[in-house]
Amino acid sequence: MFSFDKRVEELSLKALETAKKEFETIDEITEYNQKKMLRAFIDNHVSESMFTESTGYGYNDRGREVIDLVFSQAVGAEDAIVRHNFTCGTHTLTVALFGVLRPGDTMLSVTGRPYDTIQPVIGISKDGGDMGSLKDYGVKYDEVSLTADGRVDYEAIEKRLAQGDVKMVYIQRSRGYSLRPSLSVAEIKKIVDITKKTSSAMVMVDNCYGEFVEKLEPTDVGADLMAGSLIKNPGGGIAKTGGYIAGKKEYVEKCAYRLTTPGLGREVGATLGHSRELFMGIFSAPHVVGEALKTAAFTSALFTLMGFDPTPEVGESRHDIIQAVRLRNSENLIAFCQGIQKGSPVDSFVTPEPWEMPGYDSEVIMAAGAFTLGSSIELSADAPLREPFAVWLQGGLNFHSAKVAVMYAAENVMKLLDKEGK
């Protein structure tokens, strides 16, 4: 069916054995979260009638109303809005930021500089210009850098909050395209506790890539607001588009007014037949996240055996679905990504090549054979061709097919090692 170099097959078997304990932990968390999701569906009486299409204003769309209840219960929040018309994660985060921040307020990022795409929203990107950023509207920005080893600097956060002018503490949970550790819910709770003890600021979490990786979500431990994309973890590989905002009722309501218009908020918005896939997506999400985590754990184990340096390492606790592997040179990065593409269900015949991608200071190579364009819960890998020559892999709708793609990546890299005589 699939033929690999014998060495890759042998190393893959060893990798599975190495990751066995981690797989057991993932299965336990997955079962807990799947039961939690099922409980939310049952408690809120989800029915076939809620999947019907609404048009125009979308008044009294019961499906739209109930999916908010289901999701908020599943993530331990007072309220939520789950909508197909959030265009991406950045848009969802932007609605949340503009929903609660006002001119003169200060936003404090406590996990260093936020991910590239959110910087123009804040008004701190190199591009500059009058684009309607938070800065354009008089919202101030400050940040607390991470420590030298990429950890949260709790002491510095407390000192900054003591100045008394911060309205929002902003947390980016995921490592994104860096090698710093992603944040655990326990670490987020510590930031929440410091914030509430020291100030009157609210806490918002960019939860992208982190949903259902642990048994608790940031809103379970006191975060006032969190947001994410439905073509990442919480859409389960089924939602074609969309996002969610969840948290304290007062803040979610303000975000709903920003999404539509003051006075109408969540009362309008036709679902246009998307309700079924949104319900199916969030129901499947805990299981699919488990499959993505197994893919990450297997990749970490396999490339460790091949002599490379992955992060997280085998057995290290995981707080998002992203797996990074330092591959030492650009040739290995290209070979890895081309192997992932070869084992993808869509566009497997395509050969990705590096290109000058806008916003990056070096060439970037990307591999993705996804049913939904840009879906990060489906298997993908990408890497800028520069130091530290790391590739970032995420997703995998099911482990068994994702494993094939990772083995192709390993085989491609092994061929290069053979040429080097290593």
Alpha-carbon distance of 285 to 37, in angstroms, equals: 9
pTM beyond 0.85: the answer is yes
At residue 330, the pLDDT reads 95
Please determine whether the domains at 6-33+284-420 and 53-273 fall in the same fold group of CATH: no
The residues, any chain, with a CB within 8 Å of residue 262's CB and separated by 6 or more, are none
At residue 419, the pLDDT reads 87
234 neighbors 228 (Cβ within 8 angstroms) = yes
Structure tokens at 102: 């006002």
Nearest to 260 by CA among 405, 64, 408: 64
The residues, any chain, with a CB within 8 Å of residue 250's CB and separated by 6 or more, are none
350-377 pLDDT per residue, tens: 999 998 876 566 899 999 999 999 999 9
Q: How far is CA 214 from the centre of its chain?
A: 13
Architecture of domain 53-273 in CATH?
3-Layer(aba) Sandwich (3.40)
Regions of the chain short of the pLDDT cut 70: 126-129, 358-361, 422
Domain positions in the chain: 6-33+284-420, 53-273
Architecture of domain 6-33+284-420 in CATH?
Alpha-Beta Complex (3.90)
Phi, psi of 78 (to 5 degrees): -70, -30
At residue 222, the pLDDT reads 98
At residue 15, the pLDDT reads 98
